[in-house]
């Protein structure tokens, strides 16, 4: 008699985890599902996974790109460890098919949101780290994001929008850009609105599913305003 694996069991085997992994089950539990079923969500694992992903990509950059200085290395890492890249990795892993989400999020096609997918990827990394250790987590993260690192390292623009804007404002004697962010909506569907101000000379806004994304959008809008001025 053959035994049929559940989808989550199949994911566990792909990751080298036990099919009975409680941490993996937790990693794919969104806060909206947790609120409806009075259980823990993947938010704490996401917090840990964020740090593990950062370290794994920094590790890769240091070893594969020894000629980069600290500033360039930081920029490269920021262009890889971001919502869009992590959501892409989650999509390649087909994490959406394993996620446990609430009815409201499902109705609103929440699994199409990059923020939910990126958070789930980080949570899965944390589960792998806790069960199999850093080396297994590092290998997984670097394998999942290696192509993103290659693309980011070869892109002609070496500075992200926030860095470009800061360098311009400091060179112009206007100090550093000031960001204010306001969150709205329920916890499972939060939208962030950011405003960036550079002295009295420049002001722009941006919106995103995460604070970081909203600030980046605001910085990009401000930079485009400078170019078009």
Q: Where are the domains of the chain?
A: 7-154, 161-228
Average pLDDT of the residues in 161-180: 85
Length of the chain: 229
Determine whether 122 is an active site residue.
yes
In the prediction, which pLDDT does 2 show? 39
Q: Which CATH class is domain 161-228?
A: alpha beta
Level-2 CATH architecture, domain 7-154: Orthogonal Bundle (1.10)
Q: How confident is the model at residue 213 (pLDDT cuts 50, 70, 90)?
A: confident
Q: For 71-83, b where at least 16 C-beta lie within 10 A, e where not — what string? A: eebebbbbbbbbb
Question: With 80 as the cut, is the pLDDT of residue 183 above it?
Answer: yes
1 vs 224, higher pLDDT: 224
pLDDT in tens, 5-16: 577 888 898 899
Average pLDDT of the residues in 164-190: 87
Q: What angle do CA 90, 95, 99 make, to 5 degrees?
A: 135
In the prediction, which pLDDT does 172 show? 81
The packing angle between helices 161-171 and 211-228, to 10°, is: 50
Q: How confident is the model at residue 106 (pLDDT cuts 50, 70, 90)?
A: confident
Average pLDDT of the residues in 139-144: 97
Average pLDDT of the residues in 175-194: 90
Residues 6+ positions from 32 with CB-CB distance below 8 Å? 101, 102, 104, 105, 110, 188, 189
Q: Which two tokens stand for residue 186?
A: 């329920």
Determine whether 50 is an active site residue.
yes
Choosing from 122, 160, 215, 220, the catalytic residue is 122
pLDDT in tens, 125-136: 999 999 999 999
Choosing from 46, 50, 160, 217, the catalytic residue is 50
CA 193 to chain centroid: 18
């Amino acid at each position: 008699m053959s035994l049929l694996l559940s989808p989550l069991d199949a994911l566990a085997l792909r990751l080298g985890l036990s099919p009975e992994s409680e941490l993996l089950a937790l990693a794919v539990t969104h806060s909206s599902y947790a609120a409806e079923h009075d259980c823990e969500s993947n938010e704490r694992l996401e917090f840990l996974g964020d740090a593990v992903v950062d370290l794994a990509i920094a590790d890769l950059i240091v070893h594969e790109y020894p000629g980069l200085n600290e500033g360039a290395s930081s920029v490269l890492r920021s262009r890889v460890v971001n919502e869009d890249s992590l959501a892409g990795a989650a999509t390649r892993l087909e994490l959406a098919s394993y996620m446990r989400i609430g009815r409201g999020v499902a109705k609103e096609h929440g699994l199409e949101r990059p923020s939910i997918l990126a958070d789930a990827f980080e949570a899965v990394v944390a589960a792998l780290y806790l069960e199999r250790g850093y080396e297994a987590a590092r290998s997984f993260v670097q394998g999942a994001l290696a192509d993103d690192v290659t693309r980011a390292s070869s892109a002609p623009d070496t500075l992200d929008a926030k860095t470009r804007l800061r360098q311009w404002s400091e060179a112009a004697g206007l100090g550093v850009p000031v960001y204010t962010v306001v969150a709205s909506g329920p916890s499972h569907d939060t939208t962030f609105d950011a405003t960036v101000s550079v002295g009295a000379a420049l002001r722009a806004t941006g919106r995103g599913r995460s604070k970081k994304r909203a600030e980046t959008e605001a910085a990009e809008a401000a930079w485009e305003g400078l170019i078009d001025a």
